[in-house]
Amino acid sequence: MARPVKRPVRRRRPVKIAATTATSLADLVPNPKNPRKAWSAEQLEAFRQSLAKFGDLGGIVRNLTTNQLIGGHKRIEAFHQATDVKVVTTPQPPDAQGTVAHGYVLVDGHRFAYREVQWSLEDETAANLAANRWAAEWEWQLVAEALQTINSDELRALTGFADHELANLLAADWTTPAKGELMGDTAEGDHAVHLSATQYALLVDTKAKLDPTGVISDAGAVEVLCRRILQTT
């Protein structure tokens, strides 16, 4: 009986996937549609100093001195709904920012950045405030434009905006209004409004309650107040 002829097995060549690796800061290109207002030079410098002192507070940060979280409270709340959660850390000698371990929290197979620090209670308190402070004001027109590019209701819901906020943002008309009697002639365009001394004093008092740090602008305060009214009507 003739032996069957063995055919050579064809090996599939691995598919090469084109990938771009970031090698320098120049490769990290800002998104021009990022819906946050630009910071002033003073704000940027304050943030730079905060980074130099505390490091990145954007992830989950735990202070071993007090066994308390500094950043990541809401993430941890959400993780309690997961099936499998593990904390993986790599210890290291304390660095200039007090970091003694880096790692990640593994939540149902997904990684989230985690860091351990050895700080005093005073540093912890300051860092906790900083973690909640560094958020620029929204550029609402860019927010609306970004939402309009999202066709999935599920994805829109995941942005964190409530249904009534989404409805208001998607329905808003961003056309520059016609110049009215209260509009000024400033270089900023047709959006300046003249206030009496009493009206401006009222605005200043309102700003102090909205943002005790004094960072919020006049326009930002008016915007916040208008949106609160729209949300309650």
State residue 223's pLDDT score.
77
Global pTM value = 0.60
Residue 15, Cα to own-chain centre: how many angstroms? 36
* Residue (of 98, 106, 86, 26) closest to 57 by Cα position: 98
Q: What is the pLDDT of residue 1?
A: 57
pLDDT in tens, the chain (233 residues): 566 666 665 666 655 555 567 789 999 999 988 888 888 888 888 888 888 999 999 899 999 999 999 999 999 999 999 999 999 999 999 999 999 999 999 999 999 999 999 999 999 988 888 887 776 567 778 888 888 887 888 777 777 677 887 888 888 777 765 555 544 555 555 566 777 777 777 887 787 777 765 667 777 778 777 777 776 65
Contact present, 99 and 116 (Cβ < 8 Å): yes
CA–CA gap between residue 82 and residue 87 (Å, rounded):
13
Which pLDDT does position 76 carry in this prediction? Answer: 95
Q: What is the dihedral angle through the alpha carbons of 181, 182, 186, 188, rounded to the nearest 10 degrees?
A: -110
Q: Which tokens belong to 190?
A: 């047709």
pLDDT on residue 200: 78
For residue 186, the model assigns a pLDDT of 52
The secondary structure of residue 212, as a DSSP letter, is: T
Residue by residue, what is the 3-state secondary structure of 124-183?
HHHHHHHHHHCCCCECHHHHHHHHHCCCCHHHHHCCCCCHHHHHHHHHCCCCCCCCCCCE
